[in-house]
Amino acid sequence: MQTQNRARQILIHGLALVLVGIIWGLVMPHTPFPRLALSAHIQAVLNGMLFTLMAVLLLTLPHKVSARSALVML
């Protein structure tokens, strides 16, 4: 049961990171260095998607993952 809680935390963090990346994409044209802002936007969205995918896999696939492994992923 502990792994399910960690997977939900990873999912929440991943979705929050995607949301921050999308908002940062809207702010990007107003920054002093737009190319740097573009790379930050891309990294936030891609890492958020990676976290979300990892959490979905932890929640759906039948496996035995310890709570410590899920904590390391978080």
Q: How far are the Cα atoms of 17, 32, 52, 62 from residue 35, in angstroms, in the given order? A: 19, 9, 26, 42
Predicted TM-score (pTM) of this structure: 0.80
Q: Which helix (H) or strand (E) holds 27?
A: helix 2-27
Helix, strand, or coil (residue 41): helix
Cβ count near 30 (within 10 Å): 8
For the stretch 40-67, pLDDT in tens is 999 999 999 999 998 888 888 766 666 6
* Mean pLDDT, rounded, of the chain: 86
Where are the chain's structural domains?
2-73
d(C-alpha 70, C-alpha 74), whole Å: 6
